[in-house]
Amino acid sequence: MAIDSQQKVTTSHLKRDAYLYIRQSTVRQVFENQESTKRQYALRQKAVALGWEMERVVVIDNDLGQSGAQTADRQGFQRLVGDVGMGKAGIVMGLEVSRLARNSTDWHRLLEICALTDTLILDEDGIYDPAHFNDRLLLGLKGTMSEAELHVLQARLRGGFLNKARRGELCLPLPVGLVYNTHGIPVLDPDRQVQDSLRLFFATFQRTGSACATVKYFREQGLKFPYRGSKGFNTDYLGWIDLAHSKAVQTLHNPRYAGAYVFGRTRTIKRVSGGASHERVSQEKWQVLIQEAHPGYISWQEYERNQQRLLENAQLHASERRSPPREGSALLQGLVICGRCGGRMTVRYLSRKESVVPAYICQKEGIERAERICQSILGLSIDTAIGRLLLDTLTPMALEVALSVQQELQARQEEVDRLHRQQVERARFDAELAKRRYMRVDPDNRLVADSLEAEWNEKLRLVNQAQEEYERKSQANRMELSEQQKAEITALANDFPRLWNSPQTSQRERKRMVRLLIEDVTLCGGEEITAHVRFKGGTVTSLHLPRPKTSAELRTTPPEVVAEIDRLLNEHTDLEIVHILNKQGMLTGMAHKFDVIAVQRIRRAYGLKTRFERLREKGLLTVQELAEKIHVSSHTIKNWKNNGLIRGYAYNDKLECLYEPSGDFPEKWKWKYSAQKQQTASCAESYA
Ligand SMILES: [Zn+2]
């Protein structure tokens, strides 16, 4: 090689710098494979042997710990290519030069540039001139081999991983609450407090059905959630923090708590900008799932139920959630589902004269797409029916529900109590430890002794704090349960009907009771309203109710009244009709007595002919028409009528009359003599 090398290296090369490129792909290799790094640095000596001065050897080692698979993040390699391109390099050295770039494209580009700028390449095997075809071919082959090697290596590694994972033997990091025992098998964390915290966590989710509520409960109770150092050197470190929502959701989604071994829950996606992100993979695409692989905190069934629950929560969140009881009279607020489209129905309060009535309304689509609302159903009759249904079916059920609630409260209280006690014990243990450490130190070593004493004091303070917290909480909880809650529950169980009907019970309390017993109600409107009531526990009861009247219908005059008015108009004026209807005890649609305005309004609304029109249709004449016809003055005709000589038909309440066109008319002056006789007669005849 020596001769060969000497021939290839010329003064032109020696005028330029020698570049030594050093790389280890992972940080771990940097630490562990120091032998290789040493060999890489030793190449410097070779350059010197070939004639370069020591200070002209440029070492590029800022890519240590970077993978060779991509150039993007390797600034050292980019600098190397740049310098070679500008003709600064006489020779490029590397342990196995093909590993300069694990990517064929990058490698070939480097070769091209080296050939153009007459730069040599050197590795442990020899020295190459890329401008020579043979050398370039060899280098190209080396590069291709190297890329293939990397691929095979990766595939083999991955295959090994996968095989191990398929057998459930690949050690993956465990979430807090699970640890590997000495045989490398996952077991529950031996720390009692950690275990209890996780148990309480899952039980609380089970009860509340929401991650938010679970977090809230932990906060309210002043409980902490454990974590273990997951990365770096301090993996045994156990800490306690406030439970965060993200942590709660993460914990609920983690199948390891159900004792399942899982591999491939996430996958890595390369980003265009370089770097990568992780994406969660749906369960059916997990590469390995072994149920009951190790002990867990919940069963697999419970895990799946939790996933379902979380999904439903998310969906409900997207539409409208089953909302907590608010003020307002609608009993089923937040519980009603539309029987037509399946959406949640909201409550709208409609104001009726003197009262407000609730209506259940499905309007989400209506609002979003500006379309007609799906359906709207008046709530009053439904609420009443639900109340009746509860009273009818509830007595034995109430007892059961109340008792189970009571039991649950009791159990929950004990769990919380135990956790608080453990917090105190842990604090005591820490204090004891600090004390021992303090005792052990040489009293002459003032500095250490002082800081240890301070630590001991601090721990003692924490013990006191935990103790106080524990006492305060447990006292508060005990009192609440023993006095108030028990009384309430017993009352509910024993005397539900009294409680339900009591005027002291607010509508809000009734709503709470409904929520305790009913899961949801599906409403379907139409000529008849169907309400499917789903009780907690799954029983479904269907109610059929007549459709309540709309407000317009409520205002409508009953048809028989309209017919009566129509009939009376043939013979009577409006005022007369008012007297007659009120004497018969008939009422308007709004349940009021009749007055002239009401009659006129109905007459107009139903298109009934006026009395005037009716009389005209019969051929009766007005006073002017008659006067003209028989050649007398209108005054005369009125006098005739007033004296009862002819008959007039009153067509309004001013008693203006119409007259028959023919008949016995008095001679022009005759009326004056007969006037005294028939003084009393008038158009009152028409009252008959
Ligand atoms: Zn709907």
Q: For every residue of 567-582, which 3-state class applies, written as one string?
A: HHCCCCCHHHHHHHHH
Q: Which two tokens stand for residue 666?
A: 């008095």
- State in Å: Cα 532 to ligand 1 middle: 15
How far is 353 from 591, CA to CA, in rounded Å? Answer: 12
Question: CB of 147 within 8 A of CB of 103?
Answer: yes
pLDDT digits (tens, 9 = 90+) for 114-165: 888 889 988 878 888 888 888 888 888 888 877 787 788 888 888 888 888 8
- State in Å: Cα 347 to ligand 1 middle: 13
Give residue 473's identity as a one-letter amino acid code. K
Phi-psi region of 435 (alpha: psi -120 to 50; beta: other; left: phi over 0): alpha
Residue written as token pair 């095989």? 163
Could you state, in chain order, the average pLDDT of each consecutive group of 10 residues for the chain (688 residues)?
Answer: 64 88 64 68 83 86 60 72 88 75 74 88 85 86 80 82 83 86 86 90 88 86 82 67 87 92 84 73 86 91 90 63 61 86 83 78 68 81 87 65 66 78 85 82 74 84 84 66 60 70 80 83 86 80 80 75 88 89 84 85 86 88 86 84 83 85 70 49 43
Distances (CA, A) of 52 to 15, 57, 99, 672, 688: 9, 7, 23, 157, 141
**What is the pLDDT at residue 10?**
86
**What is the pLDDT at residue 303?**
94
How far is 129 from 117, CA to CA, in rounded Å? Answer: 11
If you ran DSSP here, which 8-state letter would residue 321 be given?
Answer: -
Q: Are strands 57-60 and 17-21 parallel, antiparallel or unpaired?
A: parallel
Residue 301: strand, helix, or coil: helix
Distances (CA, A) of 153 to 103, 150, 397: 14, 5, 67
How far is 451 from 266, CA to CA, in rounded Å? Answer: 46
Q: Which two tokens stand for residue 587?
A: 């009422």
- State in Å: Cα 540 to ligand 1 middle: 20
- State in Å: Cα 345 to ligand 1 middle: 7
Residue 533: strand, helix, or coil: strand
Neighbouring-strand partners of residue 650: 657
**What is the pLDDT at residue 684?**
43
Nearest to 683 by CA among 597, 576, 582: 576
**What is the pLDDT at residue 300?**
93
**What is the pLDDT at residue 551?**
65
Residue 406: strand, helix, or coil: helix
How far is 378 from 472, CA to CA, in rounded Å? Answer: 49
- Enclosing H/E stretch for 596: helix 596-605
Nearest to 167 by CA among 189, 184, 150, 190: 184
Question: CB of 510 within 8 A of CB of 358?
Answer: no
pLDDT digits (tens, 9 = 90+) for 560-603: 888 888 888 888 888 889 999 889 888 887 778 888 888 888 88
- State in Å: Cα 533 to ligand 1 middle: 17
How far is 657 from 623, CA to CA, in rounded Å? Answer: 8
- 593 CA to centre of own chain: 54
Distances (CA, A) of 674 to 44, 207, 250, 425, 547: 155, 101, 111, 124, 66
How far is 140 from 130, CA to CA, in rounded Å? Answer: 10
* Sequence-separated (6 or more) residues with CB below 8 Å from residue 240: 224, 225, 226, 227
Residue written as token pair 């509520």? 213
- State in Å: Cα 318 to ligand 1 middle: 16
Q: Are strands 375-378 and 648-650 parallel, antiparallel or unpaired?
A: unpaired
- State in Å: Cα 235 to ligand 1 middle: 54
Where in the sequence numbering do the catalytic residues fall? Answer: 25
Distances (CA, A) of 666 to 109, 162, 621, 628, 669: 134, 126, 17, 15, 8
Nearest to 223 by CA among 413, 430, 410, 456: 413
How far is 319 from 344, CA to CA, in rounded Å? Answer: 8
- State in Å: Cα 373 to ligand 1 middle: 8
How far is 17 from 83, CA to CA, in rounded Å? Answer: 10
Residue 354: strand, helix, or coil: coil
How far is 221 from 474, CA to CA, in rounded Å? Answer: 10
- State in Å: Cα 375 to ligand 1 middle: 6
- State in Å: Cα 356 to ligand 1 middle: 23
- State in Å: Cα 558 to ligand 1 middle: 32
